[in-house]
Amino acid sequence: MKKIIIAVDGFSSCGKSTLAKDLASKLGYAYIDSGAMYRAVTLYFLENGIDPDDPEAVDDALSRIEIRFLRMNGENHTFLNGRDVESDIRQMRVSAQVSKVSTVSAVRRAMVRQQQAMGAEKGIVMDGRDIGTVVFPQAELKLFMTADPDERTRRRYAELQARGVNISPEEVKANLLHRDQIDSTRADSPLRQADGAIVIDSTHLTREEQLARALALAIAARG
């Protein structure tokens, strides 16, 4: 069976990762959360006092960063220089800085190179902001996810509550909108709908409905 590349882009907390994960598992494909890579770089910068506006410090830091993914008990874990940072990279202090760090071109170049290498064998679903536009413009299927901001806030708030994070819905919404703003207006590879991308608005769709829609598109794209 022909293997394809599936790019899933869209705003923060639209359900991209859930859909991408579900799709990868149905198809027996690898799933890569590209946002986790930018989050891992951000965590490294925070922990090591790296100023994203200092090009030399950034280059030096990037040469010291190794990011890997491992599946453990059916869950994806992100490793930064051998340490499991899956939970640390989801903290608010990382969420508050990650969009800023993601505007740095040297950071983007390093991440895109690694992401393209991960897709060399195809059979991959990758979610992010620039997957269909920059990382895999030749992807056989490109999805672009959107959802109503209040629904996104509700989902993200519930997710953070479940993890015991103490935060108000207003703060969650402000962070989401702030990230959307930076992600879609940055100079280097801003978030935008790729040519040929198919929009999925997840506001009124259940997880199963989103998967059914994406799976049908994937099967058609696989040929």
Nearer to ligand DC, 102 or 153 (CB): 102
Alpha-helical segments (H) within the chain: 16-27, 34-47, 55-64, 92-101, 105-118, 149-162, 169-185, 207-222
Least Å from the CB of residue 123 to ligand DC: 19
d(CA 218, CA 221): 5
CA atoms within 13 Å, Cβ hemisphere of 41: 27
- Residue 4 or 12: the one with the smaller Cβ distance to ligand DC is 12
Give least dist CB 98 to ligand DC, A: 4
Q: What strands lie across the sheet with 30-33, from one edge to the other?
A: 30-33, 124-128, 5-10, 141-146, 198-201
Smallest separation (angstroms) from ligand DC to the CB of 215: 21
Residue placing its CB nearer to ligand DC in the complex, 175 or 218: 175
Q: Which residues of this protein are in contact with ligand DC, per CB under 6 A?
A: 12, 34-35, 38-39, 98-99, 102, 128-131, 179, 183
User: Which tokens is 141 given?
Assistant: 């299927």
Nearest-approach distance from CB 50 to ligand DC, in angstroms: 16
CA–CA gap between residue 92 and residue 90 (Å, rounded): 7
| Residues in a beta bridge with 69 | 78
Question: Alpha-carbon distance 194 to 142, whole Å?
Answer: 7
Closest CB to ligand DC among residues 32, 218: 32
For ligand DC, the closer of residues 29 and 35 by Cβ is 35
Give me the least distance between CB of 223 and ligand DC, in Å please: 26
